[in-house]
Amino acid sequence: MAADGSSAGPLLVTRGVTLQYKTAETLVTATYRVDFSVFRSDRYVLLGPSGCGKSTLLKAVGGYIRPTEGSITLAGSEITRPGPDRVMVFQEFDQLLPWKTVQENVVFALTASGTLAGRAAQERARHYIAKVGLEKFGESYPHTLSGGMKARVAIARGMAMEPQIILMDEPFAALDALTRRKMQDDLLQLWEETRFTVLFVTHSVPEAIKLGNRILLLSPHPGRVKAELGSGGKDEIHALSGAMLSETILRLLFAEEDIAAEASQ
Enumerate binding residues for another protein (CB under 8 A): 62, 64, 82-84, 86-88, 90, 92, 94-95, 97-99, 108-109, 112-114, 141-144, 161
If the CB atoms of residues 63 and 229 are measured against another protein, the closer one turns out to be 63
**Alpha carbons 249 and 225: distance in angstroms, whole number:** 13
Minimum Å distance from CB 225 to another protein?
A: 25
If the CB atoms of residues 92 and 228 are measured against another protein, the closer one turns out to be 92
- Contact present, 179 and 148 (Cβ < 8 Å): yes
Minimum Å distance from CB 98 to another protein?
A: 5
Per-residue three-class SS string for 132-143? CCCHHHCCCCHH
If the CB atoms of residues 113 and 241 are measured against another protein, the closer one turns out to be 113
Alpha helices in the chain (DSSP H): 54-62, 102-112, 118-131, 147-160, 177-194, 205-211, 245-264
Sequence-separated (6 or more) residues with CB below 8 Å from residue 192: none
Minimum Å distance from CB 203 to another protein?
A: 19
If the CB atoms of residues 11 and 109 are measured against another protein, the closer one turns out to be 109
If the CB atoms of residues 9 and 98 are measured against another protein, the closer one turns out to be 98
- Contact present, 164 and 74 (Cβ < 8 Å): yes
Give the other-Cβ count within 10 Å of 168's Cβ: 26
**Alpha carbons 124 and 122: distance in angstroms, whole number:** 6
Minimum Å distance from CB 168 to another protein?
A: 13
